[in-house]
Amino acid sequence: MLRRDPHLTKKEDDAGESAPLSTSLTTAAASNSSPLSYRRRCQFLVSDASFRHRHRFLLPFVLAATIALYFILVPADFILSNTSNNVKSNHPTILYGHVHMAKTGGTSLNGIIANKFDNVCGHKGYSYDAYNDNEKAKAANGAVVLSGGSVWSRSRVNPRIMSEIGWENCDYISNELAWSFWKQFGNGKFHGVNMELHVPCRDRIEHLMSMCNYEEEGKVGEKGLPTKHKIACDAKTDEELFNSVKKCFLYLNRYDHAMLELFDVKCFSFHNQFTNYIDHMSTILSHRRFESTPYVKRETNDVRNKEEECIWNNPEVREKVDKFLLDTIPYYQFCDSCMGSENEIAT
């Protein structure tokens, strides 16, 4: 398409439009008022359109090449890290671990926290199915008894399954394994995220007697029930007394002082765990949309009969045993130094 020459007068231009193309070009070429011949301008316009037509795919090609070069030269981990940093997350900045010491109420604590908060991963319950699990327990019209051994359920998750699931979507982990389990999270090893461990603390003698009530001697009593371990309050020697105490020990290797070198370890009271401690965690963890209430307690052993526990009527024996526990068991040593300090949670 030919454009009007701005250097031509309207009359000359009109004449060019009405004349044949060759005549118009000749007339324009003969004009001395134009600095650039009309023919050359027409050739330029034609060649400019031809250039655009021939290179219409050049811009997309350059753009694609630039993007490809970016991904080749820029490290992938840099790209992913910057992408993930722009994603909004409700996760706490650190992980929390519940060191479930046997006979400290940890089964109920794990179950309640899983029912209240999201991203709880525990041997005694996960958040994602805690609602339905508790609804089934309510339908059973009574407390649920958790069997030991290889009997697994939603309220007692197989540790192998827990490992297969992984811990990447957990904000709070509750487990009942030896302390070495936690080493995989020590000093920020787990995806660069630090972990804070929470250890429940209970009166030493009360804790010991609860462990004695759980452990069975392998004998059957008069009522056809397994007999429990008992403290030898009438022992002739301290060695005999302490040996009877050791028979009651139950997984005290879940805590070790080596944990203090890997984690920020805090303690909380056995008596306040269902009030103050849960209130403390409610300021950190995300609440679930729905909560099944009331929580049905999962029983793991028989109710204690304190009248059958001779240690309460023998102050001298109780004092010896208490000192023995504190002198020989790292878990009790930790609790003794932590409770009442700045590291006690929700005092």
pLDDT of residue 93: 95
With a cut of 80, say whether residue 102 has pLDDT above it.
Answer: yes
Pairing relationship of beta strands 120-122 and 125-126 according to DSSP bridges: antiparallel
User: Residue 18 to residues 2, 11, 24, 31, 176: CA-CA distances in angstroms?
Assistant: 13, 11, 8, 17, 99
Q: pLDDT digit string (tens) for 134-192?
A: 999 999 876 677 877 778 999 999 999 999 999 999 999 999 999 999 999 999 999 99
The predicted model gives 98-112 an average pLDDT of 97
pLDDT of residue 205: 98
* pTM assigned to the model: 0.74
Cβ neighbours for 153, distance < 8 A, ≥ 6 positions apart: 146
Q: Work out the percent of the chain whose per-residue pLDDT is above 90.
A: 64
pLDDT of residue 1: 45
pLDDT of residue 66: 78
**Residue 137 belongs to what H/E stretch?**
helix 130-139
DSSP readout, 57-79? THHHHHHHHHHHHHHHHS-HHHH
pLDDT of residue 57: 63
With a cut of 70, say whether residue 260 has pLDDT above it.
Answer: yes
With a cut of 60, say whether residue 12 has pLDDT above it.
Answer: no
DSSP class of 242: H
Cβ burial of 209 (10 Å; 0-12, 13-18, 19+) is buried
With a cut of 50, say whether residue 243 has pLDDT above it.
Answer: yes
Q: Which of 107-116, 160-169, 207-216 has the least mean pLDDT?
A: 207-216
Among the ranges 50-64, 80-94, 129-143, 181-195, which has the highest mean pLDDT value? 181-195
Longest dimension (CA), the chain: 136
pLDDT of residue 143: 65
Q: Is 175 helix (H, G, I), strand (E, B) or coil?
A: strand
DSSP class of 146: P
Band of residue 70 on the pLDDT scale cut at 50, 70, 90: low
pLDDT of residue 153: 92
With a cut of 90, say whether residue 78 has pLDDT above it.
Answer: no
pLDDT of residue 42: 52
HSE-up (13 A, CA, CB side) for residue 250: 18
Q: pLDDT digit string (tens) for 24-37?
A: 444 444 444 455 55
pLDDT of residue 150: 76
Band of residue 299 on the pLDDT scale cut at 50, 70, 90: confident
